[in-house]
Structure 1
Amino acid sequence: MNRDGIVEFVAVVEQRSFTLAAKKLRISTAKVSRQVSALETRLSSRLLNRTTRVVTPTELGQQFYHQCRHILDQLDDAERFVSEQQLTPSGKLMLTAPVTYGERIIAPVVNDFLTLHPRIEVSLNLTNQVVDLVQENYDLAIRLGHLESSSLIARRLGSRTLFTCASPEYFEQHGLPQSVADLARHQCIAGTSAHWQFNVNGRVVTYRLSNARLRCNSGVGIRDAARKHLGIIQLPDYYVADDIEAGRLKVILPAQQIDDDGIWAIYPQTRHVSTKVRLLLDYLVTRLSPGA
């Protein structure tokens, strides 16, 4: 492929001037003009409309410009990628994650990542608020469960399981629910969501907690209530897995348990993902994937 004149042509289109294009490329105006003219001759097409005041692309030139711009961007990204591989990754990363999952899972993983990359700095903000990554200049966000449609890129890191459970002592006193409908006769404890989800005959069914005895926006708080035999809860595995294994909490309706939710890394859509961001993404996938 003969690339002669393409860089000059793109510069002229973007600058709307041979003189300004030459200044940007740090070459003479005459050379820019010769290269673009040679390109038009080689393609047997007029790409630019030239006047004494401004230079604009023809209809064909505009289409050709977009294709050339895309190719040049890809070449820039390829060169940047190779250059970054020769350097020790460094710089600051802005990361946000939900509070409890961040404390228990993400923070330890990030700490291990930092021991491997001593020149990288991480600012980890744990919040249950949905942060605007672009406006607040974050590199990555960890999100749990269903994702809303957006222009951000999502990469699946792993999965979480929702367990519906209570203490054995609670079930000894109130009986064991045999179906989702039986929950209406029980003391349920609501967290940040007033709705629980179940899989009934292959279909996701939402159960509304109209009979919640306690409502609390802290997973740790409602787990404690369940430990103290106050009622039934539905929480992700990272809250209750240890209690279930130790017998302090008992899982109910396992056949109606929904499929695992996703754990996602979300990041802004850009042409090039920096080496430090890519390294953290890959490390999170390695550590959080099933069986890790």
Structure 2
Amino acid sequence: MQRWEGVNEFVAVAETESFTRAAKRLDVSTAHVSRQISALEDRLSTRLFYRTTRRVSTTEAGQIYYQHCRQILDALEQAERSMTNMQLVPQGRLRLTAPVTYGEKSIAPLVNDFVLRYPELDVEMKLTNQQLDLVAEGYDLAVRLGKLDDSSLMARRLASRTLYVCASPAYLAVHGTPHSLSELEHHNCLQGNLGYWRFQDAGHPRNVRIRGNVRCDSGRALLDAALKGVGIVQLPDYYVGPALDAGTLIPLLTHYQEDDDGIWAVYPHNRHLSPKVRMLLDYFVDSLGVPNA
């Protein structure tokens, strides 16, 4: 820090050719400017100014020093301007990850709109159903669904999702409509990664083991099977919503339906969250319509 002391005062005097005018520019006393210049000359062992009763001018060494100091101050001003601009206009690299289907349907279109609004961003988006290590792999944020595991990551709720159990009218016409959780064991239940479905029974969470002749880790594939009458399925609203609205799938066991769970943005713990990440999170929340998020 000592090497920086006196530089602002030196440049002000060199440009105004006056200790008094330099002090006024810097909003300090003339005595302060004089002390700083004297200390600077002592530290450099060089005379920087010629002083007369009528004017102050730089020596040859002072002129050389001024050119370097002016470049340094200009670079500092530019650096500060860049930081201010980053607060106002998102720019630079931004890396995020999201689940495949929800990412394709809801997150990627919002990211694309955000990039159109702020074209100085350089976005890398990885859609995967694996939970990546954000810190180790250098991601700014991840979108995750459902209940969050305990971790050191910060989380912000973006939206809610509803799980529906449903089947096609054709399947129900042949196999009947289940009215209790115990009846599911008599039905062909299309399975995802888990061997159970989630419900709420008498106000308490309940997992019910299910069996069926189709197991797949793709929600779209399970949706297709349900639409074709292969069996009953449990999927989030962003898969089955249009089919429920169209009547091509019928909701079942709605009185056992679990409360809505969350769609979250998680990001490494950092009290100085970068403006571009914060603005993208705000944009997600505004667009996905979470009240009081």
- Whether TM exceeds 0.5 here: the answer is yes
Post-superposition Cα deviations, 1:126-167, rounded to whole Å, max 9, x if no partner, equal 000110000000001000001000000000001001000010
Contact residue 159 and residue 289 of structure 1 kept, 8 A: no
Counterparts of residues 71-82 of structure 1 (less than 5 Å): none
- Compute the displacement of 1:89 (Å): 2.1
> Percent identical across equivalent pairs?
51
1:196 is matched with which residue?
A: 197
Distance 1:105 1:208, change over 3 A: same
Counterparts of residues 227-246 of structure 1 (less than 5 Å): 227-246=227-246
Post-superposition Cα deviations, 1:266-288, rounded to whole Å, max 9, x if no partner, equal 00011311111111000001111
2:247 is matched with which residue?
A: 247
Counterparts of residues 216-227 of structure 1 (less than 5 Å): 216-227=216-227
Distance 1:166 1:154 in 2: 34
Q: What letter matches 2:184 in structure 1? A: L
* Bigger Rg over Cα: 2
Post-superposition Cα deviations, 1:88-142, rounded to whole Å, max 9, x if no partner, equal 3211110100000001111111111111112112111000011000000000100
SS in 2 for 1:212: coil
- Compute the displacement of 1:213 (Å): 1.7
Q: What letter matches 1:255 in structure 2? A: H
Distance 1:231 1:189 in 2: 6
- Compute the displacement of 1:262 (Å): 0.2
Contact residue 113 and residue 280 of structure 1 kept, 8 A: yes
In the alignment, is residue 278 of structure 1 matched against residue 278 of structure 2? yes
Q: What letter matches 1:115 in structure 2? A: L
- Compute the displacement of 1:236 (Å): 0.5
Counterparts of residues 50-65 of structure 1 (less than 5 Å): none
Contact residue 84 and residue 275 of structure 1 kept, 8 A: no
SS in 2 for 1:135: helix
Distance 1:290 1:271 in 2: 23
SS in 1 for 2:242: helix
Distance 1:239 1:84, change over 3 A: same
Distance 1:217 1:149 in 2: 24
Distance 1:274 1:84, change over 3 A: farther
Contact residue 197 and residue 207 of structure 2 kept, 8 A: yes
- Compute the displacement of 1:82 (Å): 8.2
Unaligned runs of 5+ in 1: 1-21, 29-78
In the alignment, is residue 263 of structure 1 matched against residue 254 of structure 2? no
The TM-score, its normalising length taken from structure 2, stands at 0.70
Counterparts of residues 6-17 of structure 1 (less than 5 Å): none
Q: What letter matches 2:196 in structure 1? A: H
Distance 1:88 1:96, change over 3 A: same
Distance 1:284 1:124, change over 3 A: same
Unaligned runs of 5+ in 2: 7-79
Paired residues in the alignment total 218
The TM-score, its normalising length taken from structure 1, stands at 0.71
Q: What letter matches 1:174 in structure 2? A: H
Distance 1:86 1:160, change over 3 A: closer
2:179 is matched with which residue?
A: 178
1:137 is matched with which residue?
A: 138
In the alignment, is residue 111 of structure 1 matched against residue 112 of structure 2? yes
Distance 1:148 1:238, change over 3 A: same
Distance 2:87 2:216 in 1: 51
Contact residue 223 and residue 233 of structure 1 kept, 8 A: yes
In the alignment, is residue 289 of structure 1 matched against residue 273 of structure 2? no
Distance 1:201 1:86, change over 3 A: closer
Distance 1:199 1:117, change over 3 A: same
Distance 1:179 1:118, change over 3 A: same
